[in-house]
Amino acid sequence: MVRSPIIVALDVSDAEEAVLLAERVRPHVGAFKVGLGLLYGAGPAVIGRLARMGPVMVDAKLHDIPSQVGAAARRLGEHGARWVTAHASGGAAMLEAAGAGLAAGSPGRAAGVLAVTLLTSIGGPEAAEMFECTPREITARLAGRAAAAGVEGVVCSPLELGVVAEAAPGLLRVTPGIRALEAPADDQARTAGAREALDLGADLIVVGRAIIAADDPAQAARRLRASLLDG
């Protein structure tokens, strides 16, 4: 397990800015997240630069036919990804292909797939309209299927951590949608604070704006880590 439960989301589009941010906060975080904006803006080479400083979660949210997902996961592994995300809704064969591809691209290194359940931007009413069930029901179903496909972990809202623990015990639980107290939800619908998420059962929490948008990102990361360890 990483030394801090914080995965800092480097949600910038420029490689140099991402690397500079990572250098500033690295003493206080456990890993770095490369999202779609950075992946498509700076290109996958930024993964390797960040991997020299710590584990990298590439939030690629892969979702395609198994052969394509396997090939993409392998390439991301070759660049140094510790974790790669793929949509659980893509099915068992797709998730298995992601795992096999990532392993092939990461010889001699630990690497695993994180299955994304339901995006934290989707609220209860929208989930009911789209899927005719609740976020908890969707998450439980997808987490169970992802576990059967051999993934390392699951990405879920903090509000569904309990059902993931029941449906897929033993899997790493990674939680996005973390907000500072009184911070706006922005484009998230199912959120929680950092301490609350850990108390609910998260192993790792993804924190973006609360750190990278702070006047002093290093100080913000340090304070957050200290508050979690003291808790």
Amino acid 146 reads: A
Q: pLDDT grade, residue 206 (50/70/90)?
A: very high
Q: Which domain range does residue 127 map to? A: 6-230
Q: Say which residues have a Cβ less than 8 Å from residue 153's Cβ, sequence separation at least 6.
A: 83, 112, 113, 114, 115, 171, 172, 173, 174, 203
What is the chain's Cα-based Rg?
17
User: In the numeric block, which tokens belong to residue 45?
Assistant: 């080479």
Q: pLDDT grade, residue 173 (50/70/90)?
A: very high
> What is the predicted pLDDT for the residue at 120?
79
Checking if the pLDDT of 186 tops 60, the result is no
pLDDT digits (tens, 9 = 90+) for 53-75: 999 999 999 999 999 999 999 99
Residues belonging to the active site: 61
Q: Is 62 within the bounds of a domain?
A: yes
Q: How many domains are contained in the chain? A: 1
* Helix-helix angle 92-105:135-148, to 10 degrees: 50
Query: Which H or E run includes 200?
Result: helix 194-200
Checking if the pLDDT of 183 tops 60, the result is no
Q: Is 36 within the bounds of a domain?
A: yes
Q: Torsion-angle region of residue 114: left (phi > 0), alpha (psi -120 to 50) or beta? A: beta
Query: Which H or E run includes 214?
Result: none
Q: Which residue has the higher pLDDT, 228 or 84?
A: 84
Distance in angstroms (rounded) separating the CA atoms of residues 122 and 126: 6
Q: Indicate the DSSP class of residue 173.
A: E
Q: CATH number of the domain that 167 lies in?
A: 3.20.20.70
167 three-class SS: helix
Q: Is 115 within the bounds of a domain?
A: yes
C-alpha 170: how far from its chain's center? 17
Q: Is 1 within the bounds of a domain?
A: no
Q: pLDDT grade, residue 192 (50/70/90)?
A: low
